[in-house]
A and B are shown apart, each in its own frame.
Chain A
Amino acid sequence: MKIAIASNGNTLESCIDSTFARCNFFVVYDPETRAMEFIPNPNKDLEEGAGSASVKLLESRSVQKIVASEFGMKIKPLLDSLKIQMIVVKGSKKTMKEIMVMLNH
């Protein structure tokens, strides 16, 4: 089970980013193997279609859950059809480390 987290930096101390599609880095984390991967977001500066491009990127890594503090309007139907779960953490300044510890539960 792989989980993607939208992060604003590439360290464990970086915070969760305010938007999903235009975040700085995606962290793909696997709680079973505790493996993590930081992927720089290539769609960061796209004018349009950043959401679907980011979903495609994460789908190609077979992510099943996405943690972000906000999702765009067009994301939900896309993720629902791919059966990816959305986890919305509103307005918090949790770091990657804290989220990973929570995901280990």
Chain B
Amino acid sequence: MPRVKTLRKVLNPPLIKGFKPYGPESGNLNQEPVNLLFEEYEALRLSDYDMLNHHQASVMMGVSRPTFTRIYASALQKIARAFVEGKQIAIEGGKVYFDSDWYQCAGCGCNFNNPEREKVIESCPLCGTRQIISHDFPDETNEENAKHWEYVCVCPQCGFEQEHQLGIPCNHQVCPKCTHKMKRKGTPGCKI
């Protein structure tokens, strides 16, 4: 039996349910839509709209970096298919959960969430007091993933550290003290 998919975190559901082609030929085409999953929509949004790199985006979605790249590739493939074949795109389904803030009311002790991120909650929806406490349940697994990759190059010989430069692999850098090749801090190859 295959391993169970981890739940992907999606910030907000998309504003629309999908896209329809238009033009004189659009009516004659196959009406069967291409099903873009919520996680694929989110992957596209994070990496091409918010301009995050795949590693940052994978942390946001709570999946590994290779999984994120797979989701993203599948999203592009589906969109390309819909464009070329003139198909509709339906955004639905997928193994996701939506992220929304949780609050606690100091007046009546109830908990409530905020399904609409655009609106700011000021008072308790149940008793109307303005004394509310915001809870943000920190996701431990995400932090662990983030810790795994630090943006620091380290010399495995003498332990010299310097800030990682984006775009240049760590093993292309040379340690200024002992001229040994540098490694990324936290990777299995480096002992420190």
Contact = CB atoms under 8 A, between A and B. Distances in A.
Interface string A46-85: 0000000000000000000101000000001101110111
A87 B112 contact: yes
The bracket for how many chain A residues form the interface is 20 to 34
B40 to A, nearest CB: 15
Name, among A80, A83, A88, A102, the residue most crowded by chain B CB atoms within 10 Å (CB to CB): A80
A78 B101 CA distance: 15
A92 B127 CA distance: 14
B122 to A, nearest CB: 13
Interface stretch (B103-111, B147-155, B173-181): B103-111
B126 A87 contact: yes
Interface in B1-29: 13
Contacts of B98: 76-77, 80-81
Main secondary structure, interface of A, reads: mixed
Contact of B115 (A84, A88, A102): A84
Nearest to A84: B115
B116 interface: yes
Given A67-B126, A80-B13, A84-B115, A89 B110 contact: yes
A80 B109 CA distance: 22
B126 A89 contact: yes
23 contacts: A65-B125, A76-B97, A76-B100, A77-B96, A79-B115, A80-B97, A80-B98, A80-B113, A84-B115, A85-B112, A87-B125, A88-B110, A88-B112, A89-B108, A89-B109, A89-B110, A89-B126, A90-B110, A90-B111, A102-B108, A103-B126, A105-B127, A105-B128
List the 6 closest pairs (A to B, CB-CB), nearest first. Answer: A105-B128, A80-B98, A88-B111, A87-B112, A81-B13, A89-B110
